[in-house]
Amino acid sequence: MAESIVVDHVTKDFTMHYHRTLKQMAVATLRGLPLKEEFQAVNDVSFTVEQGESVGLMGLNGSGKSTLLKLINGVMRPNQGTIRTRGRIAGLIATGAGFHPQMTGRENLYLNGAILGMSENEINGKFDEIVEFAGIGKFLDTPVSHYSSGMYARLGFAIAIHVDADIFLADEVLAVGDRPFKKKCLAKMQEIRTQGTTIFYVSHAAASVRAMCDRVLILESGHLNFDGPCDDGIRYLQYDDDDDDENSLEGMVDEELGADI
Amino acid sequence: MKAADKAAQQGALKVDENGRRKNAAQRARALMERKSDSMPVVQFVGERQERHVTAEMVDPAPRGGIVEVAQQHYLLRLIVSRQLAQQYAASVLGLLWSYIQPGMRFAVYFFIFGVVLKTHQGTPNFALRLFAGMVFMHFFTETWTKATQSIWNNRALVLKMRVPREVFPIASMLTAAYHTGPQVVILIACCAVVGWHFSFAAVLALLLGFALLLTFATAMALYFSALNVLYKDFQNIVSTITQFLHFLVPMMYSYSVIAALGKDHQAAYQLYMANPLAEAVMLMQRCFWFPTLNNQSQFAKQFPPDLWSRGLIMLAVSCVLLVFSQRFFARVESKFPERL
Ligand SMILES: Nc1ncnc2c1ncn2[C@@H]1O[C@H](COP(=O)(O)OP(=O)(O)O)[C@@H](O)[C@H]1O
Ligand SMILES: [Mg+2]
């Protein structure tokens, strides 16, 4: 099998700027206030993903999951380290797709498709399928700023999944959809998984990750602290401390899974 | 004493670290419990196929610059047509506005400078010379103001999708060109009506002026679109400058006025002429207006004697500026997502 994603000692710093205009900056400098502060959202992370692998990305909110996905899909560049990917990348990152609020659903569909590397013919060919999957029907020619967050996510997901990408990234965006749609999306993701697409799936739902992924990565405040099989990863997340009573917690997990399945 | 202190401190740190981990683990457990049902479980069915991807391993965020933009012409076309549609959305006269506004400005300039101040005296076809300058100045100011705001206005896309970000200022320039195109047609028609005499010098002036205008506009578009992400002041600075930019090129008055000024104030003259737009405008007048005159030798004073060499030097300067702006853009671009 060939390598699909290689992340090598990647660090992403964010600089927090406290001031936006020249005037504010001048005032802050005069008063001796700090102008900016740096912190690492992703800290020295390395891993390799083979083509066709399905990877679950887990961790608390703010641990750097979305940032890592942005680095992989090229929206951001690492400050240190390198990332190499093979083939077309599509997906949904952070909250909502990259839509232009003033444009209609149809215009955004074409624009998004073009950005993801589709040609005009390719988009035309898949247009009906995408609209059908998104189920936005008569809202197609309404500006997306009038969409509900669910419709927004649906259209974004529908476009991304129909791109025929080699790497598919799914951040927590799906969480805003309704349950039948979530099911439909996950089924579609399982379908592209059979086609050998590399998948990144971010979710807090252990059972769902277990069904979708072959492997789990766990980020903790920017550090990659776990990389291994799903079950171990989920266990890692739940009983970080050895002195916890394993047995009682084991029972709890089974209960949870039972509720979910 | 000191060692003991250190040990105590380390102990405290260790406890702190343990506490933090415990805390994080607790939060992780709580989150997983809460979210355990947030996504449904869908089992894998079917058979796993292998996918052979022929592409090479590449950087997902290549630094392609404007070269990459040129390769993505479909995307560029979509963005331009979007900008055109958006600019005049919900306006009754629509695209006409892009002619009404320059048309009015032309009428005002013509009246004030030509009729009231009588700068047209001794300048045959004054209107044509004014128009030739205004068309290309309009292209430049449109490009500059729109490009400066372009990254900011498209932040929804910049934050979420991987695009060569130069696409936005370049698209602003193409939009400006789309608006200017018909004005150029009108200009050519006017030249034909008045009587335009072919000469190679005129064609050369067109080529040089056009190359100069294009490189300079691209450089400014790239530079200021990036700068405006860092400091939002620049979109105001740019729109302020464009307010009086029209007065800093010789189109309402003739070059001979500036040349006369240069006799006493050499520094002011050089400063005036250091504006690439002044050369570009004069080259365009050399192409469109000058060949319509009957006794051309009489009006040679309307252009600097070193127009050609100045034009070439400014073209070289603009090329350097373009390289510099592209570098600046590429450097700042990686900070866009956190500054928007
Ligand atoms: N554009 C940004 N500018 C500054 N800080 C950011 C930016 N995006 C994310 N962060 C910070 O980086 C950290 C990681 O965020 P994120 O990757 O969104 O976490 P997650 O997706 O795991 O919840 C957070 O502390 C967040 O506040
Ligand atoms: Mg996130």
Query: Average pLDDT in the A20-47 region?
Result: 86
A201 and A149 inside one domain = no
pLDDT value for A258: 36
Q: How far is the CA of A171 from the centre of ligand 1 (A)?
A: 13
Let me know if residue B16 belongs to a domain: no
Model confidence band, residue B8 (pLDDT cutoffs 50, 70, 90): low
We report the CATH number of the domain holding residue A222 as 3.40.50.300
Helix (H) or strand (E) holding B122: none
Model confidence band, residue B100 (pLDDT cutoffs 50, 70, 90): confident
Q: Among B23, B27, B29, B32, which would you mutate to test the A interface (most chain A Cβ atoms within 10 Å of its Cβ)?
A: B32
A40 phi, psi to nearest 5 deg: -95, 115
Could A93 and B41 be called an inter-chain contact, meaning their C-beta atoms sit closer than 8 Å? no
The DSSP result for B275-339, as a single string, is -HHHHHHHHHHHHHTGGG-SSGGGGGGGS-TTHHHHHHHHHHHHHHHHHHHHHHHHHHHTTHHHH
Could A175 and B31 be called an inter-chain contact, meaning their C-beta atoms sit closer than 8 Å? no
A155 and A176 inside one domain = no
A81 and A104 inside one domain = no
Taking the CA of residue B234 and the nearest CA in chain A, the distance in Å comes to 10
- With 0-12 CB in 10 A as exposed, 13-18 as middle and 19+ as buried, what is A153? buried
Query: Average pLDDT in the A174-184 region?
Result: 84
pLDDT above 80 (res A155): yes
A131 phi, psi to nearest 5 deg: -65, -40
pLDDT value for B83: 85
A152 and A183 inside one domain = no
A159 and A170 inside one domain = no
SS3 state of residue B165: coil
**Mean model confidence pLDDT for chain B:** 89
Let me know if residue B175 belongs to a domain: yes
Distance of CA A78 to CAs A39, A45, A67, A119, B163, Å? 13, 11, 10, 29, 16
Cα(B1)–Cα(B9) distance, integer angstroms: 12
Chain A, 114 to 133: residues with Cβ < 8 Å from chain B are 114-116, 119-120
| Total of domains in chain A | 2
Q: Which ligand is nearest to the CA of A37?
A: 1
Domain boundary residue, one of A164, A189, A209: A164
| Total of domains in chain B | 1
Query: Average pLDDT in the A197-204 region?
Result: 94
A109 and A234 inside one domain = no
Let me know if residue B20 belongs to a domain: no
A46 and A124 inside one domain = no
**B73 interface with A at CB cutoff 8 Å:** no
Residue B292, domain extent: 65-339
Does residue B228 contact residue B149 with C-beta atoms inside 8 Å?
Answer: yes
Let me know if residue A245 belongs to a domain: yes
Ligand 1 atom 14, closest CA? A64
A70 and A37 inside one domain = yes
pLDDT digits (tens, 9 = 90+) for B282-338: 999 999 999 999 888 888 888 999 999 999 999 999 999 999 999 999 999 988 888
The answer to which of B3-17, B136-150, B195-209 has the lowest mean pLDDT is B3-17
A152 and A205 inside one domain = no
Residue A20, domain extent: 3-87+166-257
CB contacts < 8 Å between A and B, how many? 214
A37 and A82 inside one domain = yes
Query: Average pLDDT in the B193-202 region?
Result: 92
Let me know if residue A93 belongs to a domain: no
pLDDT value for A29: 85
B231 phi, psi to nearest 5 deg: -135, 110
User: Which atom in ligand 1 lies closest to the alpha carbon of residue A67?
Assistant: 17
A253 and A176 inside one domain = yes
- Ligand 1, residues at Cβ distance < 6 Å: A 14, 16, 41, 59, 61-67; B 337-338
pLDDT value for A137: 83
pLDDT above 90 (res A260): no
- Look at B29 and B237; give whichever has higher pLDDT: B237
Nearest to A205 among B24, B35, B232 (CB): B35
pLDDT value for A25: 83
Domain boundary residue, one of A133, A164, A195: A164
| SS3 sequence of chain A | CCEEEEEEEEEEEEEEECCCCHHHHHHHHHHCCCCEEEEEEEEEEEEEEECCCEEEEECCCCCCHHHHHHHHHCCCCCCEEEEEEECCEEEECCCCCCCCCCCEHHHHHHHHHHHCCCCHHHHHHHHHHHHHHHCCHHHHHCEHHHCCHHHHHHHHHHHHHCCCCCEEEECHHHHHCCHHHHHHHHHHHHHHHHCCCEEEEECCCHHHHHHHCCEEEEEECCEEEEEECHHHHHHHHHCCCCCCCHHHHHHHHHHHHHHHC
Could B39 and A174 be called an inter-chain contact, meaning their C-beta atoms sit closer than 8 Å? yes
Chain-centroid distance, C-alpha B60:
26
- Look at A148 and A127; give whichever has higher pLDDT: A127
Let me know if residue B133 belongs to a domain: yes
Pull the structure tokens for residue A80: 């240190």
Instruction: Ligand 1 pocket test: pick from A66, A72, A73 the residue with the most ligand atoms within 8 Å of its Cβ.
Output: A66
User: Highest-confidence range of A132-141, A171-180, B276-285, by mean pLDDT?
Assistant: B276-285
- Look at A31 and B202; give whichever has higher pLDDT: B202
Write down the ipTM of this complex.
0.83
The DSSP result for B204-270, as a single string, is HHHHHHHHHHHHHHHHHHHHHHHHHHH-THHHHHHHHHHHHHGGGSTTSS-HHHHHHHHHH-HHHHH
User: Which atom in ligand 1 lies closest to the alpha carbon of residue A70?
Assistant: 17
**Mean model confidence pLDDT for chain A:** 86
Let me know if residue A92 belongs to a domain: no
Let me know if residue B140 belongs to a domain: yes
Model confidence band, residue B13 (pLDDT cutoffs 50, 70, 90): low
pLDDT value for A254: 41
Helix (H) or strand (E) holding B38: none
Domain boundary residue, one of A121, A145, A164: A164
pLDDT value for A102: 83
The answer to which of A60-64, A169-173, B289-293 has the lowest mean pLDDT is A169-173
Taking each helix axis as running N to C, give the angle between helix B200-230 and helix B276-288, from 0 to 180 degrees, rounded to the nearest 10. 150
A170 and A248 inside one domain = yes
Chain A, 84 to 103: residues with Cβ < 8 Å from chain B are 84-89, 93-94, 96-103
Model confidence band, residue B121 (pLDDT cutoffs 50, 70, 90): confident
Pull the structure tokens for residue B24: 């994080």
8-state DSSP, B116: I
